[in-house]
């Protein structure tokens, strides 16, 4: 965990979040500034700053995140979704802890 990372603090329960799902590898919680009817953030509990920092040993974790996105799609009874990863400052990343935005629609 990184001491100054907002998402690491959420993982450690130092900052509250509306958690939708959690296990030993990932956490899923609602974005505080939603951009879609359903806007979840899916984060690994391992601190990885950006997609470009994903190492060979992290590839299974990335696949797992995609599986969790499928799980959330069904749990939230969505009819469509976008799974978004912003990478780097120029790519729109604001928090440097790897995360995916799941934007979902029910109708």
User: What residues are labeled active site?
Assistant: 99
Strands (E), 1-107: 19-22, 26-30, 38-44, 80-84, 100-105
User: How many Å from the N-terminal Cα to the C-terminal Cα in the chain?
Assistant: 38
Within the chain, where are the H helices? 6-11, 59-75
Nearest to 83 by CA among 73, 91, 93, 92: 73
């Amino acid at each position: 965990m990184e001491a100054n990372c907002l998402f690491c603090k959420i993982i450690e329960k130092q900052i509250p979040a509306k958690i939708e799902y959690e296990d030993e590898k990932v956490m899923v919680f609602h974005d505080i500034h939603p951009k879609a009817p359903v806007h979840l953030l899916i984060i690994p509990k391992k601190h990885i700053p950006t997609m470009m920092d994903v190492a060979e040993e992290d590839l299974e974790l990335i696949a797992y995140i995609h599986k969790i996105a499928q799980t959330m799609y069904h749990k939230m009874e969505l009819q469509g979704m976008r799974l978004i990863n912003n990478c780097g400052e120029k790519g729109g990343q604001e928090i440097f802890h790897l995360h995916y935005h799941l934007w979902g629609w029910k109708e």
